[in-house]
Structure 1
Amino acid sequence: MSINDLVLKVNDVLTGSVLIIALVGIGLLFTFKLGFIQIRGFKDGWNRTFGGLFSKKGDAGKDGMSSFQALATAIAAQVGTGNIAGAATAIAVGGPGAIFWMWISAFLGMSTIFAEAVMAQKFKQVSDDGTVTGGPVYYIRGAFKGTFGKVLAAIFAVLIIFALGFMGNAVQSNSIAASWNTAFGIPKIAMGIFIAVVSLFVFTGGMKRIAKVTELIVPIMAAFYIVGSLIVIFANVTAIPAAFHDIIVGAFKPAAVAGGAMGATLKLAVQKGVARGLFSNEAGMGSTPHAHAVAKVNHPVEQGFVAMIGVFIDTFVILNLTALVIITTGSRTSGFTGAQLSQYAFSTLYGKFGEIFIAICMLFFAFSTIIGWYFFGEANIRYLFGAKAVKIYSIIVCICVALGSLQEVDLVWNMADCFNSMMVIPNAIALVALSGLVKKTHDDYYNNFLPNQKKGK
């Protein structure tokens, strides 16, 4: 058995059962423990998110990010190639019904990411040079004192550095290089070097430059993709009712609407929908709390509200649009899968421009993910080795970005998925252990902080 085969087997076990049970379980735990916070807190999160869009530049202070900048950095990481390829893969393998289970996973994930953001705020740290940092390593240590907490935090830190900072960013670079080579004939290595140079420029500017870039690029990329997708969907407006019919019916009777996914079963629909949904919005993975930790807010719960909107945008907006483009155009029976299926779906209306549209989207989505994932890895480099190691880390990441463009290496892709999956375990253990503190912080907001604010204190 090759190393790649072994990695695939481990990943199949993790994504096929262990992580789905763990993440769905945590989502249910916080949904009920916090009284369906994803519904009660949605309006507040929406207002804080889009109110922050027009906030003054000074709102972030010198030592962190504004609430909107933190969300933009989180969304930059969440909205990646998975939003183009992830939904397509789920539909190709699990049928249209997989999208329904993506909705379920996102709904539960909103409560999970609320808890992650609240704990990230609760345990954030300020270094000697005034830099704010935070993330799972700190709330893991807060949940478990002594050796166990140190070991669990170190395991998480190593996993996220390799999963996102190194291998994950090589995968993102490969997606950009491949799509631009197809659309424009640009050599992959040339695109890889270009992305690496631009990335290094952003990285060396520190948190402030990362925040400014994500704050600018996320709204633009979202608007571009939303408009482009809606044009295709409304060009096939008569197919929209049938698309929702196939999603709902296919969620429980996949064989009835399987189409190209002739082997689709209820188990596959649930597994692919939940797994793709969870790994698209990253709720429970422990990645986005690094961004939410550095937001300047008056109470941890305020950033929890904002974090929920990130999951909503990722799944209920961006990923949903991909799914509807594929289903309304009838492309799910084309025999393609992954990004090729999405590319084919857009080309049904745009023709050759469909390839160009996907190439531009890949550039936006994957580059923003590189920035977000670098930032998450940097926080863990600081935790393990101190600030002096950040420069070395940034150079290694850029080398990975450049080399990742050369060719699609299955082992690298599969190891990135495997490390991504393993990240969930220490993060999930800590969240369960801290569930009481999450509830206590939630109650403090509603019982003490909010009433005092209304009184003008």
Structure 2
Amino acid sequence: MAIYNAIMNFKNWMWGLPVLLILIGGGIWLTIACDFVQIKHFGFAMKKTIIATIRGDKDKDKNKVSGYQAVTACLANTIGTGNIVGVGSAIALGGPGAVFWMWVVGFVAMCLKYCEAVLGVHTRIKGEDGRWKGGASHYLGQVWKPLGIIWSFCCVFGLAIACGTHTGSVASAASTLGVPSIVSTVIICVMVIILILGGGLKLLVRITEKMVPFMAILYVGTGLIVILANIGNLIPALASILSNAFTGTAATGGFAGAALSAAIKNGCARGAYSSDAGNGGASILHSQADVDDPVEQGMWGIFEVFVDTIIVCSFTALVILCTGVWTSGDPGSMLAINAFGTIGIAGRLIASIGLIWFATSPVLALTTMQGMVSEDMFGKGVRYVAQLALLICCFIGGTIGVDAALPWVDISNMLLIVVNVSGMVLLSKTLRRLTLDYFSKTKTV
């Protein structure tokens, strides 16, 4: 218990000023280095990606992965537990002001994810089997070879823990529909086994390119109905986000109150968890895209965070705040489901099913990512051991629940962010050159 408490205390301290400086400070540094790409070229990024999304672009060659398919696989991971459970936990522990700090992280996360995608494509190599090998392990290795190895170890550990958290979310959501936790946990474990043995990346992108857009639209559409049903509370909800972002939140109803430090810490932690930016994980999938220029895939990185944090997370937060369920004192993992339930059984059902899918799809994406990075860096033997550990974490996560697993996700995410953001800052000259070269040749809007 003493060791556990020491680890949690260190985690809480790191997610204060240290990680804030690295994540936001590093993001601002890279924003400047990349010529404010997520601001100056936001319109270009949205035009290029949204048109491709509407068309459902995919490579005609079944052995290749398009930029669109790569980002739907990434969104299968990012639009997950963090968008529902993470937002609820941030508000439950930090009050409405935590949402503001999630937006701050989202702003810099657009550039961080852009950099991860660009570097992932820029430094990848062709394997003997003709498939791309790339990701943070490759570009960090260019800074200092041990840095790539350290990141890979942390990534293999972190992805397994994250899968446990998402499985816990599935179990919690399924239990609200009367499905025993052990049943939903076993189903997830079977799906993981099928993906490990028979599918990998090709199976993943075939699933995500169809399901991710559908579930995102259904979830946001239902959230809009909840907000409209409580439209009188919308302006006060937005005002509470801005006012409590710099003051903290007083106790009200079943809410115990939260200091300013709690709003910042929980907003940043959950924002980083939701957007999945800064830790380098998405670079694994982005590096698989068959694109002509690294910056082209970087546009998808900006799009990915915009959809995840600015759209989906914001809808979850406004649903929770407009309905007032955040003052109930219920655990963060249940706030969104309870809020959707205010419009009836249909809303609760959609929220529960949405959480089940949003938590299941990251498990599939993370399983694929872990297999790719462990085999790339350490060989097939280590890949099987790592994926067995991931499967065990899925089972444990479904048993202990998401609230108990979330602190361990923060620890693994913290380690990955420190290593990855530091390395990308050292590669800022390369990022600046690639960015300026691309836009000097491209007519943007």
**Match for 1:373 among 366, 381, 390?**
366
Give the unaligned 5+ runs of structure 2.
Answer: none
* Alpha-carbon contact 2:215-2:354 (below 8 Å) kept: yes
- The AA in structure 2 aligned to 1:300 is P
Distance 1:388 1:49, change over 3 A: farther
| Per-residue deviation, 1:155 | 1.5
- Aligned residue in 2 for 1:24: 24
**1:254 counterpart SS class:** coil
RMSD over aligned CA atoms reads: 2.3
Distance 1:402 1:293, change over 3 A: same
- Aligned residue in 2 for 1:450: 442
| Per-residue deviation, 1:51 | 2.6
- The AA in structure 2 aligned to 1:380 is V
Distance 1:61 1:158, change over 3 A: same
**Match for 1:313 among 307, 318, 328?**
307
* 2:323 pairs with 1:322: no
| Per-residue deviation, 1:38 | 0.7
- Aligned residue in 2 for 1:190: 183
* Alpha-carbon contact 2:280-2:416 (below 8 Å) kept: yes
> How high is the TM-score relative to the length of structure 2?
0.93
* Alpha-carbon contact 1:159-1:423 (below 8 Å) kept: yes
CA distance in 1, matches of 2:238, 2:402: 36
| Per-residue deviation, 1:392 | 5.1
- Aligned residue in 2 for 1:73: 73
Task: Indicate the larger mover: 382-391 or 334-343.
Answer: 382-391
Distance 1:344 1:16, change over 3 A: same
Distance 1:223 1:409, change over 3 A: closer
**Match for 1:435 among 413, 420, 428?**
428
Identity over aligned pairs, percent: 31
**1:58 counterpart SS class:** coil
| Paired residue total | 442
* Alpha-carbon contact 1:96-1:257 (below 8 Å) kept: no
- Aligned residue in 2 for 1:155: 150
Distance 1:258 1:187, change over 3 A: closer
CA distance in 2, matches of 1:112, 1:94: 24
| Per-residue deviation, 1:262 | 4.9
| Per-residue deviation, 1:260 | 5.5
* Alpha-carbon contact 2:103-2:271 (below 8 Å) kept: yes
Deviations 1:47-90 (A, max 9, x none): 2322323255435662x411011111111111111111222222
- The AA in structure 2 aligned to 1:311 is V
**Match for 1:332 among 301, 306, 326?**
326
* 2:15 pairs with 1:15: yes
- Aligned residue in 2 for 1:116: 116
- Aligned residue in 1 for 2:59: 58
* Alpha-carbon contact 2:71-2:304 (below 8 Å) kept: yes
CA distance in 2, matches of 1:443, 1:248: 35
- The AA in structure 2 aligned to 1:213 is I
- Aligned residue in 1 for 2:127: 127
- Aligned residue in 2 for 1:233: 227
* 2:360 pairs with 1:359: no
| Per-residue deviation, 1:92 | 2.2
* Alpha-carbon contact 1:232-1:325 (below 8 Å) kept: yes
CA distance in 2, matches of 1:11, 1:403: 21
CA distance in 1, matches of 2:37, 2:239: 29
CA distance in 2, matches of 1:208, 1:86: 29
Task: Indicate the larger mover: 413-422 or 75-84.
Answer: 413-422
> How high is the TM-score relative to the length of structure 1?
0.90
* Alpha-carbon contact 1:94-1:261 (below 8 Å) kept: no
CA distance in 2, matches of 1:125, 1:2: 45
| Per-residue deviation, 1:354 | 4.8
Give the unaligned 5+ runs of structure 1.
Answer: none
* 2:264 pairs with 1:264: no
Deviations 1:79-109 (A, max 9, x none): 1111112222222222212212211111111
* 2:182 pairs with 1:181: no
